[in-house]
Structure 1
Amino acid sequence: MVGHGGWSGGCVDIRNRVCSGGNLPSGALKASSAPCLKDRSPGFPFRLFSLYFFLMPSVPDAPWHIVRQSSIHNLGVFAARDIPKGTRILDYRGHKITKAESTRRGNAQLEESAATGEGAVYLFVLNKRHDIDGNVPWNDARLINHTCNPNCEAQIIRGTIWLIALRDIPEGTELGFNYGFDLETWEDHPCRCGSKNCIGYIVGKEYWPRLRRLLKKRQAAAASLAAPDPEDEASLASASRKRASKGVGKKEKTTSGK
């Protein structure tokens, strides 16, 4: 005779793995009226395993993130609750495209952005052959802003791009990762993350030493253009003295003429 859920001989006591003549602990399932016999059928372990998960309390699959206005740029993604370090917060979704198509779309999006001042590129490297175009409304991860002090990072796990928490993230904190841009067009991407270690531009951290050298040279060049040349200063001072002496003479002549 088959009891509840395909169990032979009546309902099974989870703790003792035997038939129960009464109710199961915590009243999870109502006992069968079948005779109380030990279950020796071949599928017993699998059915017990299945029932264990059936009896487990359901955990709501609430998202780790919410989308709202950001002080960095437009919309951003924030922690909906405390996020433990190492958590897979959300995945980067979109259309899987070839590298050639990725280049075409990227150039088109950049041209549109240059012409209108709006738009963005949401292409994400997946592997050597494919990229993910995340410019789709169901991809909240595309709204995560760049920061020079990231609290999450992108990792590719079994073909899926996940945003992983680098540390414990308190509820309400904005999520951010380093976009990893190279130095080719660094001047086109100023950073507004506001972190203490912000380098001023959206570039990968591995490029920071080179960028600092570039910025230092640029500042030195600007300072040299702004500061007068010592020889020029001497020439200007000499010319000023000559003009002053000529001015005094003319004034005296005018005075003596009166």
Structure 2
Amino acid sequence: MIRVKTYISHSSIHGIGLFAGEPIPQGTVIWAFDEPIDQRYTPADVAKMTPLMKTFLARYAYCERGTLVLCGDHARFMNHSPQPSCGNDPTRRFTLALRDIAKDEELTDNYSTMEDSWEPFAGIIEPERME
């Protein structure tokens, strides 16, 4: 669940994005997994889902340690950037501000370093590719 003030708005990166509602100092925890708001799905869970549900997960979930993680809040609108403002802590339990982030700046993450391979879901669901 998001730990800082944010809002969603039009993104020049990809449709809708997540933006800082206040200045965020470097090192601040931006997001952490909190059930029941955030959810994890195993390959067996996803295999039972409808195509529409799989399409939603392919767009908004990310793979971590053999499960799909779906952020239940606006964190799912964080877009990809090769020069991200946010990233994982070494334990991968939190998303942190990698540098000072200005109010109204879009929060971004590097999907290729944030998530694991979708291999456990091969043949069940295909991830949406970065643009």
SS in 1 for 2:111: coil
Q: Does 1:123 align with 2:61?
A: yes
Whole-angstrom CA distance in 1 between matches of 2:11 and 2:48? 27
Do the aligned partners of 1:95 and 1:132 also contact (CA within 8 Å) in 2?
A: yes
1:99 aligns to 2:43 (yes or no): yes
Q: Is 1:108 equivalent to 2:45 in the alignment?
A: no
Counterpart CA distance in 2 for 1:107 and 1:149 is 35
Structure 1: 4+ residue segments shifted above 6 A: none
Matching of residue 165 in structure 1 with residue 105 in structure 2:
no
Output the TM-score relative to the length of structure 2. 0.65
Q: Please tell me the residue identity of whatever aligns with 1:151.
A: S
Question: SS where residue 141 of structure 1 aligns?
Answer: helix
Aligned with 1:81 (options 22, 34, 44) = 22
Which is strand-richer, 1 or 2? 2
Q: 1:106 Cα deviation (Å)? A: 8.7
Distance, in Å, in 2 between the alignment partners of 1:189 and 1:150 is: 17
The superposition leaves residues 163-213 of structure 1 with CA deviations (integer Å, 9 ceiling, x where unpaired) of: 21011111111110011176x9xxx7353xxxxxxxxxxxxxxxxxxxxxx
CA distance in 2, matches of 1:82, 1:105: 42
Question: Using the alignment, how far apart are the partners of 1:73 and 1:106 within structure 2?
Answer: 26
Residue of structure 1 in register with 2:6 after alignment: 65
When residues 123 and 100 of structure 1 are mapped into structure 2, their CA distance, relative to the original with a 3 A threshold, is: farther
Largest Rg, 1 or 2: 1
CA deviation map 1:100-153 (0-9, x unaligned): 324x3799359758xxxxx8432233435x43233xxx4211000111110101
The answer to whether the 8 Å contact 1:68/1:76 transfers is yes
Aligned counterparts, 1:189-204, within 5 A: 189=129, 191=131
Structure-2 change in CA distance of 1:164 and 1:68 (3 Å): same
CA distance in 1, matches of 2:43, 2:54: 18
Measured on the aligned residues, the alpha-carbon RMSD in Å equals 3.3
- Which protein has greater RCO, CA pairs closer than 8 Å, 6+ apart? 2
Please tell me whether the aligned partners of residues 151 and 166 of structure 1 are also in contact (alpha carbons under 8 angstroms).
yes
Pairwise CA distance, 1:81: 1.3
Fraction of identical pairs, as percent: 29
Structure-1 separation of matches of 2:130 and 2:41: 28
Aligned length: 112
Structure with more of its chain in helix, by fraction: 1
Letter in 2 for 1:173: E
Note closer, same or farther for the CA distance 1:174–1:120 as it changes in structure 2 (3 Å cut): same
